[in-house]
Structure 1
Amino acid sequence: MTTQVPLPMFYKAPELLSLAAHGDWRLRGGDVAFAAQAAFVPIVASEIAAAASTYPVVFAKDDAQPIVVTGIEQANLFVDEGLWAEDAYVPAYVRRYPFGFIATVNPDGYALAIDTSSPRFGREGEEGTALFENDEPTAFTRQALNFCEAFQMDASATRAFTEALREQDLLIDQRADVVLPDGAHRGVEGFQIVDAERFAKLDDALVLDWHRKGWLALVHFHLGSLQRFQALLVRRARRQEATPTSPGDASSVSDELLVAEKA
């Protein structure tokens, strides 16, 4: 029996970009409505510093992929009417869509792909930017390729960083629980954080090595970003206040964030 590989987040019908299949396709302008239900988004190591000023930066439990938490429930608190909040860093994973990379048969090989399900792609008319011209990729397509290549290189560097965290047994399971005003519980789970106590006990030689690689700073940015869970609640409360409620709705801004003991 063949095991179906899960599709990457946001992508529903990815295809390798080719002149034969997409020679007359164009990309129209669009928004980020595709990310409106994403409570988290993957990032790469080079983004941690910028992302930590806005979001909690944590690690996925299964593969230690760095992610930013963008919502307490299944809603992205930074996307409103298709627009990403102006005061927030937009992850590269979001910015590259509907382009992306697909692994090829060659070891460590990737090729440029597009999500053909994106409504931004047009197969008729002159609206939008052409993907090919005179049987060659346009400057726009080459720019998308360069962006995805840079992202893929960062992804490889990120794996080296997270593998080092795992080798030192620094990642621990964690859960963030929210108690709503009506007593209902919501939670963010399935993620890990760096154990600050274990991190503080790393030997001097390893600390120096990580400092030179830039990894030491990344851990500090990650740990500092955990305070952003409270900011998520504030953003959620403001969104509720801006949304018309029924007379019996007792929602208020007094949500409380409880972070459970480490597992």
Structure 2
Amino acid sequence: MTPQNPETGTVASNGATEANAWPLFYREPRVLSSVEHAQWRVRPTGVGFAAASNSVPVVVGEFAAAARSYPLVFAGPDNTPLAVLGVEAGRNRFVNGDAWTDGAYVPAYVRRYPFVFVQTRDPEGYVLAIDAGSDAVIPSGEEGSPLFENGEPSELTRQALQFCDTFTREDQATRTFAAALAEQGLLIERSANIAFADGRRTSVDGFQVVDGEKFAALPDAVVVDWHRKGWLALVHFHLASLGRFNDLLTP
């Protein structure tokens, strides 16, 4: 598993985004402008865009909810937490057509699409962008909801701005948590060899999990500090979620 940066791309002063920094799902992020995108609208299209992704990033604020539906693992150079959505490459078993499986938690990373924050270089900060390559985005007409009304952000755009702001702050907290796990030497490489009932076999590798023995042996001072930060609970959610791998074997 090789996660892409969940947050964010980078934008230059002219509004252009750097393609090599685009996160998962995004093809043509455009910084929103009340002039350039005055007529743009967004229509509901479902979650078909996530059908080929067998994992997506999750942030610490959704560990409890996500752990009830998916295995949570860590991957990549930044030890990004991921919800595993399938054990076969190119298949998200929770997406059927344009719908997510009823009763399963929908990760915030999926819910924020087609919006995203991109990082500015001068001055340093974040601005709201939208994926112009999304089927949900239409440049004109009456279908869907407007991005701007009378030159001002619409309710849809304001909600997207708030959602992306919250996600970015959660992403920063998630990076701090993941770095602490690595600093304490708790993350260990794991792989899974999968045998399906119909005889097919596959393997999942390139991810890390928390070593339960090392976690139990943390110094008392670290335990107290992590308890106050809420990190002990996050580790327990993660460890409990690993039993969900068996759920991914069903058709």
User: TM above 0.5, one fold?
Assistant: yes
Give how far 1:185 is off.
2.6
2:128 is aligned, of 101, 109, 112, to 112
2:242 is aligned, of 204, 218, 226, to 226
1:33 is aligned, of 48, 67, 71, to 48
| Comparing 103-112 and 30-39, the one that deviates more | 103-112
Distance 1:55 1:146, change over 3 A: same
Report matched runs for 1:1-263 at 5 Å.
5-73=20-88, 74-106=90-122, 109-181=125-197, 183-234=199-250, 236=251
Give how far 1:20 is off.
2.5
Whole-angstrom CA distance in 2 between matches of 1:60 and 1:180: 24
Q: Moved runs in structure 1, 4+ residues, more than 3 A? A: 180-184
Q: TM-score, normalised by structure 2?
A: 0.89
What SS does the corresponding residue of 2:25 show, helix, strand or coil?
A: coil
Give how far 1:182 is off.
5.8
Give the number of aligned pairs. 233
Give how far 1:52 is off.
0.4
CA deviations 1:129-168 (Å, max 9, x no partner) are: 1101111111210111000000000001111101100110
What SS does the corresponding residue of 2:20 show, helix, strand or coil?
A: coil
Whole-angstrom CA distance in 2 between matches of 1:108 and 1:53: 37
AA matched with 1:170: L
Whole-angstrom CA distance in 2 between matches of 1:229 and 1:181: 15
What SS does the corresponding residue of 1:164 show, helix, strand or coil?
A: helix
AA matched with 1:220: H
Whole-angstrom CA distance in 2 between matches of 1:209 and 1:20: 49
Q: TM-score, normalised by structure 1?
A: 0.85
Give how far 1:180 is off.
3.3
CA contact (8 A) 1:61 1:173 kept: no
CA contact (8 A) 2:196 2:249 kept: no
CA deviations 1:180-213 (Å, max 9, x no partner) are: 3565431121111001111111011110110110
Distance 1:162 1:107, change over 3 A: farther
CA deviations 1:91-129 (Å, max 9, x no partner) are: 000000000011111475111000000111111211111
CA contact (8 A) 2:128 2:161 kept: yes
Q: Could you tell me the percent identity over the aligned residues?
A: 53
AA matched with 2:162: N
Distance 1:142 1:4, change over 3 A: closer
CA contact (8 A) 2:35 2:151 kept: no
CA RMSD of aligned residues (A): 1.5
